[in-house]
Amino acid sequence: MKNSFFKNKKILITGVSGFVGSNLAKNLVQLGAKVVGLSKNKKKDSLLFYEKIDKNIDVIFGDIADSELLKSIFIKYKIEICFHLAAQVEVGFAKKYPFLTWETNVRGTYTLMEVVRQHGKKVKSVIIASSDKAYGDYPINKLPYKEHYPLKAQFPYDTSKACADMIALSYSRNLFNLPVIITRFSNIYGPGQLNFTALIPEAIRACILNKRLIMRSNGKAIRDFVYIDDIVELYKLLSMNLYLKPKKFSGQVFNVGTNKKHQVKDILNKIYSFANKKKELRSLNKQMLKRKTSGEISIQFMDFKKVNKYLNWKPKHQFEEKVLVLFDWYKKYFKKR
């Protein structure tokens, strides 16, 4: 990749204090980009502040659904590239508070897209973070998901991502012709993920701090996990190509995963076995036998066939190779905290 492309580029990252946003900002700053980040508030548990990445970017605190705030950011900073990562990402929270989830994920997206439309030709690249959950529940013989599949979301979080996805695409086609790419990724993991409702960091924390992990499912769900470094590299690649080749890339949807199927209980087995927590693992297995799972899609995994065809991209990292790296990072984090 021509990393020199990003030098002095004016870039907005919404949801910059999130796991992906923090890692992306850190990488772009190293390449000389002028990064502006939007965050709803100063999250205490965020890589952005933990590693003091915020000192090297302009952080704006505010709501993604505040159109006047967004207009002021685009005008003041002359934004050229936008990564829209701001979202309410917790499935459990969405089940309890669907309205709040839709306010952020749906209203936030159409507010941003309308500001981009009004901003005119200065914005050359808009990358929208959708989700594999936007597809809804498909039988295993139809998986991995394909980009042309209809979106059949049912649950609140899934529906919010499907709606935001379609809204963004409507701005990229025919009437408005804005430079937009939709990304639908599998579960992202890696160092700096400080949302401990996510499976992998929650399990690693339990092992390191000798805490009991409370299972929220029966462990039979199938998921695909893609490493944060692969995602950051791909985001840069997509934004650059959309900027330089809008006719080819605008309006495209790209699925990204490793095309590897992991049962939740297998991921836990790898983590607990690495930590030599055999007794705790047996206890977890007993918990899972008693659990029923509702409100979540049972089987989800992705391939990377289309994005590989367009950009020759493929994931470089597999979960089994990264368990040691993850444990090392979180041990240092908890020691400092």
**How far apart are the C-alpha atoms of 275 and 269, rounded to whole Å?**
10
Architecture of domain 8-189+227-257+302-315: 3-Layer(aba) Sandwich (3.40)
45 three-class SS: coil
From CA 134, how far away is CA 320, in angstroms rounded?
27
What residues are annotated to the active site?
A: 157
Contact residues for 207 (Cβ-Cβ < 8 A; gap 6+): 271, 272, 275, 277, 280, 327
Amino acid found at 297:
I
d(CA 128, CA 109): 9
Ramachandran region of residue 193, left (φ > 0), alpha (ψ -120 to 50) or beta?
Answer: beta
pLDDT at 13: 98
With cut-offs at 50, 70 and 90, classify the pLDDT of residue 177.
very high
Look up residue 333 and give its amino acid: Y
Q: What is the pLDDT of residues 31-81, one digit of tens each?
A: 999 999 999 988 778 999 999 999 999 999 999 999 999 999 999 999 999
Question: Are 36 and 12 contacting, i.e. CB atoms less than 8 angstroms apart?
Answer: yes
pLDDT for 293: 60
Taking a C-beta distance cutoff of 8 angstroms, is the pair 321, 189 a contact?
Answer: no
Tokens of 260: 């590897």
- What integer pLDDT is reported at residue 1 of this predicted model? 52
Query: What is the rounded average pLDDT of the residues 123-137?
Result: 95
> Please, what is the average pLDDT of the chain?
93
Contacts of residue 150, defined as CB under 8 A and 6 or more positions apart, other chains included, come to none
Regarding predicted confidence, which is higher, 337 or 70? 70
Cα 179 to Cα 190: distance, rounded to the nearest angstrom: 29
Sign of CA dihedral 99, 170, 110, 26: positive
Judged against a pLDDT cut of 70, whether residue 294 lies above it is answered with no
* 167 confidence band (pLDDT: 50, 70, 90): very high
Beta bridge partners of 59: 37
